[in-house]
Amino acid sequence: IVYFLFETGMLKKTPRTGYQFLGSGKESVAEHSFRTAIIGYILSLEEKLDSQKTTLMCLFHDLPEARTGDHNYVNKRYVSIDEDKAVEDLSKDIPFGQVIMDLAREFNHGETPEAQIARDADQIDLILELKEQQDLGNRYTAEWLHYAEKRLITECAKKLYKEILKTDSTEWWFKKKDELW
C-alpha cells in the first residue's frame, strides 16, 4: 500500500500536456483528478446515480498516468499506451486492486451511467480550465471548447457547459465592489 501511495503522489508531479498546444494554462494530473472527482460527485447526485462509484471512477481515471505520463491527442497519434497493463501492474499487490481495475475498465468502456457521468466530469474539468484561459484572453480556447462540448454525453453536463460559458470565471470572488479594495 505504501508503494501505491508513493506512486499516486507521482500524479502531483505529472503535468497535463495539452496546455503546451493551447499556449497557456498548466496543471498536474492530480489537480485535474481532484476537481474531476468533485464534478463527478455533483453530477452523479443530480442524476441520482451511485455517487461513491462515480467519484472513485473520477478520482482513479488517470491513475495509470503515474506510469505512462499524460499523452495529449497529438502524442496519441504516435505513441501506443497500454493503460490496462499499467492499471494491472500498479494495483495487483494491493487489497483493493481489483476495485481499481474494475473502475478503470468501466470508465474506459463508458457504457454505464456512472461511467458516462465520470467521462463528462473529465470533460467539464477541461472546459472549466479552458473558460478560465478564455477569460484571460487566450483566443484559441473557443475551438477547444467547441470540441470538448461535442464529447459531452449527458444532458446535465451539456446544461452545465452552457452555464460555464456564460459565467465569468472571476465572478465567484471578484464582484467589482469597492469594499474589496
Residue at 48: amino acid letter:
K
The C-alpha cell at 3 is 508503494
Q: What is the pLDDT of residue 176?
A: 66
pTM to 2 decimal places? 0.94
DSSP per position, 48-69:
T--HHHHHHHHHHTTTTHHHH-
For 165, residues 6+ apart whose C-beta sits below 8 A from its C-beta are 131, 145
How far is the C-alpha of 54 from the C-alpha of 49, rounded, in Å?
A: 8
How far is the C-alpha of 123 from the C-alpha of 126, rounded, in Å?
A: 5
Residue 59 in contact with residue 31, Cβ under 8 Å?
no
Residue 169 in contact with residue 131, Cβ under 8 Å?
yes
Residue 125 in contact with residue 39, Cβ under 8 Å?
yes
pLDDT per residue as tens digits for the range 93-136: 999 999 999 999 999 999 999 999 999 999 999 999 999 999 99
How far is the C-alpha of 8 from the C-alpha of 142, rounded, in Å?
A: 33
Output Rg (C-alpha) for the chain, integer angstroms: 17
pLDDT per residue as tens digits for the range 126-180: 999 999 999 999 999 999 999 999 999 999 999 999 999 999 999 888 776 666 5
Residue 165 in contact with residue 171, Cβ under 8 Å?
no
pLDDT per residue as tens digits for the range 15-43: 999 999 999 999 999 999 999 999 999 99
